[in-house]
Structure 1
Amino acid sequence: MSSIETPWTKMALPKKGVLTTLRVGLDSANAWYWIRCKDGQFGVAIQLPGDAVASTASIKGTSKLNITRVNDTNGEHYLGVVIGASELATVFYRLCLDLVSACQFSTSPDQILAIIKRRVLVWQRLFEKGRRKLSPEECLGLISELKFLRENWIPDVSTNGVMGWLGPTGAAQDFHDETIGVTVEIKSHAFDSSVVKISSREQLDAEGSLFLTAYPGGLSSDGNGVTLNDFVEETRNMIPLSQYAAFDELLLSARYIKDDCYDELYFELGEPRVYLVDNDFPRLIGDNLPPAIGRVRYDLDLTLAADWACTLREISERVKR
């Protein structure tokens, strides 16, 4: 990530009290502050009623991401998320901006605290695992899921919107809506290949109607195409405001944090191929594997699955039946 100046750079340690504060944007509906603590930690905090801050005792800090609760001499109450590692400052700054943005349409303390609790848990997992940027293959996979989300899932298939995007959560399939009995697994593959990788016996096994949707794609050699950062932002602008927070949390679960390095890679995607995964579809699932077989991974050649080919329209038509 290129170096950018964070608001904490020029904030001095507090000479009195426990915090130095700097208001985050006067146009925000909620009172957010950049903070620097007496012990050198820095982060972002929101001013909340005292009883609301007291109710956050269940939010625990970790070695890399801590929670601070402050009652200042003026009787104001703050809940803050802070770190002490300066090498993480730029990444943490972007995360804090996303948190402030996610809470801008929430006015009740309960709503804000719910967002903060979920976001802190995701951040903690992210920092404890270590910051690793997405590979080009992972970028292509994420773009493919986002393309299906915004062009098919939300407008034509599901009523649960972003909440039906399960890929980043580690679920067996990428999209699922229990109320309509539709599940979709998204794959990406190179333009010159028809092979996709299946990572488990559960991935092509689901109740109801299961579809496999595969996008051909790859890096653009001439600078045409789309960057991951642009594609994420375009997608955010196409979803309901009420689902912004959930969308950002899913992106974090997918290990995506906006980074200048993602502006350097341009991707091209072709038209997807869609398959109805029924009982005869070529796959390895629990029913056709011996009990002694544990975890499975295999390649699936889509040219040999032509008998199960269908269209994106057929996914939405299943919903109407």
Structure 2
Amino acid sequence: MKNDPWSNINPSATDNRLSGILADKSNILEFYWAKDTFGNLLFVLSAPSEIIPNAKIPKLQGIDIAIGKYGRNNQLIFSLESKEYKDIFYTLCMDLISSTKVLHDEEYAVNTVLYRLDKWQHFLKNRRKIIDKRQLKGLAGELLFLKNYLLVRDSAEAALSFWKAPLQSVHDFEFDNFSVEVKTKSSVNSIYISSYEQLFSELDYLLLYVATLNDSTSRTPKAFNIYTLIDEIKAVISDTVLEERFENLLMQYGFVGLEEYRDYWFLFVSDEFYEVEEDFPRITDLPEGIENLTYRVNLEKCKAFKADIKLLEKAGIRNEYS
């Protein structure tokens, strides 16, 4: 973890007291980075007792949350239980700070914290590990399609509603009578099909969007990381409520803002669309007894299925990036 706000905090010298520093002077809530006498890493929210309820607090894997008391204030005390969750713990803390930063009502801000904790409970319960580089590149492909094609043809609210991958849908996007499956590749001209259903759709049309992304570095002109895309999409959305919806979709996808993701840089090379029709190279029948199937499709054999301009226009897509 590159940012460690606990590194300059000494363990508390007194039992039943904490040693800490204010996390954000501009926030309406008092958040503290802190340590106890044992040097455990803590994050503390201190607020008037009447607005921190003694209700059931969500349980988070690897992180303990307790209600304490200091003077007239109640405290929510977050304690890191396992070092393997340190990056996620820091990200959770920063999420609570950022989600309340622009709020001006203390009680509403506390309720926002509790709401975010419910989201984190769901995330940590269903995601046992962070997403890997291959999954991160796949997410980058989906965000490129969202930014370059949907956000230029629809309202931000509509475009976000079309993104189905975070909801565990079969296809990554669905709109009008089109399904869109997003794939990324590098120099090898083939794509990985991770489930039998990906190349079939109940809608009228199924498009395969393939983005060629090479691994890169921060020193390469036009290279980007996942945060570049997220920030660009937020700039287009430009609405607090919709930005929160976007962040929730990212969390449902399995993405939380870990520092290590900043080290993965990609370079966009080109993209292309294919129409998955009857004769498209795909496995059409599963033999009896086969429950799951993964395979690769050689795109050199798919040139006849490249989507023509009339079909893309029908989908409202203007492919200016190939």
1:48-103 Cα distance to aligned partner (Å, 9 max, x none): 565664475161243x21122223331x2233433134565455324421332133
Cα gap change, 1:87/1:292 in structure 2, threshold over 3 Å: closer, same or farther?
closer
1:252-296 Cα distance to aligned partner (Å, 9 max, x none): 543453325733x542212311123345543335xx334432101
Aligned to 1:200: 195
Q: Is residue 46–residue 79 contact of structure 1 (8 Å, CA) maintained in 2?
A: yes
Q: Is residue 11–residue 39 contact of structure 2 (8 Å, CA) maintained in 1?
A: no
SS for the counterpart of 2:75 is strand
Point out the more displaced range, 138-147 or 307-316. Answer: 307-316
Q: Is residue 212–residue 270 contact of structure 2 (8 Å, CA) maintained in 1?
A: yes
Cα gap change, 1:190/1:61 in structure 2, threshold over 3 Å: closer, same or farther?
closer
Shift of 1:315: 5.2
Aligned to 2:184: 188
SS for the counterpart of 1:92 is helix
2:210 maps to 1:211: no
Aligned positions of 1:246-261 closer than 5 A: 246-252=245-251, 253-255=253-255, 257-259=257-259
Long gaps (5+) in structure 2: 318-322
Q: Is residue 98–residue 248 contact of structure 1 (8 Å, CA) maintained in 2?
A: no
Long gaps (5+) in structure 1: none
Shift of 1:243: 3.3
Aligned to 2:169: 171
Output the amino acid matched with 2:101: Q
Aligned to 1:272: 271
1:134-191 Cα distance to aligned partner (Å, 9 max, x none): 33x44432221221121222332564344543435543222235xx344321101123
Output the amino acid matched with 1:254: G
Point out the more displaced range, 108-117 or 304-313. Answer: 304-313
SS for the counterpart of 2:198 is coil
Aligned to 1:147: 144
Partner Cα separation in structure 2 for residue 316 and residue 105 of structure 1? 41
Q: How many residues align?
A: 307
1:92-150 Cα distance to aligned partner (Å, 9 max, x none): 32442133213335552444422221024324555xx345x733x44432221221121
Q: Is residue 43–residue 80 contact of structure 1 (8 Å, CA) maintained in 2?
A: yes
Partner Cα separation in structure 2 for residue 311 and residue 110 of structure 1? 50
Partner Cα separation in structure 1 for residue 142 and residue 58 of structure 2? 31
RMSD: 3.5
Partner Cα separation in structure 1 for residue 161 and residue 77 of structure 2? 27
1:34-54 Cα distance to aligned partner (Å, 9 max, x none): 343566543334345656644
Aligned to 2:70: 72
Q: Is residue 224–residue 267 contact of structure 2 (8 Å, CA) maintained in 1?
A: no
Q: Is residue 91–residue 256 contact of structure 2 (8 Å, CA) maintained in 1?
A: no
Q: Is residue 103–residue 115 contact of structure 1 (8 Å, CA) maintained in 2?
A: no
Aligned positions of 1:1-321 closer than 5 A: 1-2=1-2, 4-7=3-6, 9-13=8-12, 15=14, 17=16, 19-37=18-36, 40-47=39-46, 50=49, 53-54=52-53, 56-57=55-56, 59-62=58-61, 64-74=62-72, 76-86=73-83, 88-105=85-102, 108=108, 109-123=110-124, 125-126=126-127, 129-130=128-129, 134-135=132-133, 137-157=134-154, 159-168=157-166, 170-177=168-175, 180-191=176-187, 193-208=188-203, 209-220=205-216, 223-228=220-225, 229-239=227-237, 240-252=239-251, 253-255=253-255, 257-259=257-259, 262-263=262-263, 265-284=264-283, 288-310=285-307, 314=311, 317-318=314-315
Partner Cα separation in structure 2 for residue 56 and residue 271 of structure 1? 52
Q: Is residue 19–residue 38 contact of structure 1 (8 Å, CA) maintained in 2?
A: yes
Shift of 1:202: 1.8
Output the amino acid matched with 2:200: D
Partner Cα separation in structure 1 for residue 312 and residue 78 of structure 2? 43
